[in-house]
A = this chain, B = another copy of it.
Amino acid sequence: MDLKAYLEERRRLVNRSLEAYLPAVRGPAFRVTQAMHYSLFVGGKRLRPILCLAAAEAVGGDAGEVLPVACALEMIHTYSLIHDDLPAMDDDDLRRGQPTCHKQFDEATAILAGDGLLTEAFQIVAAAAPRYEGREAVVLEVIRLLAAGAGYQGMVGGQMLDLLAEGRQVTLKELETIHRHKTGALLTAAVRSGALLGGGSRAEVTALTAYGEKFGLAFQITDDLLDVEGEAAEMGKAPGMDQKRRKATYPAVLGLEATRTWARRLVDEAVACLEPFQEKAAPLRELARYLLGRRS
């Protein structure tokens, strides 16, 4: 399959849907919707939505039907970037090569824009209920998954751990705990919620969840590698920032070569989870392999 064309088509699908959910309409609180819109459309690979749609299709579901959840995932991801970039957190001026939300607007607006996106994610899934008539219990389980992946047991907890680890030596085990929370939990929730809402059987949902967990860890490891090996122009941010900030990374703990080997093994394991789905899982398979060659 042509992964590049596939990703392009999916990005357009997700973007059209996001645009419909969050028009930059003028209104009394225009400034905050404008900031939400800015951060949502300043770039982004739409990886989490694409994983969600692809998981639904792997179990024979319809991508279009899963779109509200896919968009919710991107809203949650974008909110987390806005808040992580704040001066009190990672204090970043650039994101995807553009000014971060608090630079483009101001700090108060950025906090509120993040809050607004997180809240809107749950709003759009709950508001999509009529299209899931008779399957409301599954939608509630999806909401629970998104919240658990995003909250203190997932992403929020991971960001806390990451901040606490800054500037000190961490073990490999600690590093895994950080990333399983910080990026793994939401990536896994993306795949699992797509599989559930797509109508997957229990065994299918379990297999895809395992794929999601491997994928999530491989994603973070290759992200760390990119920070060491990448070039600023392609990444849209300065490389070497992790080291500069004394952030805990896999190359720092394991060394470059062992990190590369581990990433390859994880991708192989992720791909192995997809065997029962045959050709229906082709996009998920290519997405995992793509991690090893990622440039941004």
Contacts and interface: CB of A to CB of B under 8 A. Distances in A.
Interface of A: 27-29, 31-33, 36, 79, 83, 86, 88-89, 106-109, 111-112, 114-116, 118-120, 122-123, 126-127, 129, 133, 136-137, 139-141, 143-144, 146-148, 150-152, 156-161, 163-164, 177, 181
Contacts of A83: 111-112, 115
B122 A122 contact: yes
Contact of A129 (B28, B133, B141, B157): B141
A29 B181 CA distance: 9
A133 B137 CA distance: 8
A160 B88 CA distance: 20
Given A137-B129, A147-B126, A159-B112, A119 B29 contact: no
A19 to B, nearest CB: 16
Given A88-B111, A136-B140, A32 B123 contact: no
A177 B136 CA distance: 34
Interface of A is mostly: helix
Nearest to A22: B152
28 contacts: A28-B157, A29-B152, A29-B156, A29-B158, A29-B160, A29-B161, A31-B164, A32-B152, A32-B156, A83-B111, A83-B115, A86-B111, A88-B111, A89-B108, A109-B160, A109-B163, A112-B159, A115-B115, A118-B118, A119-B147, A120-B147, A122-B147, A123-B144, A123-B148, A126-B143, A126-B144, A136-B140, A139-B140
Contact of A177 (B28, B119, B164): B28
A151 B31 contact: no
A156 B122 contact: no
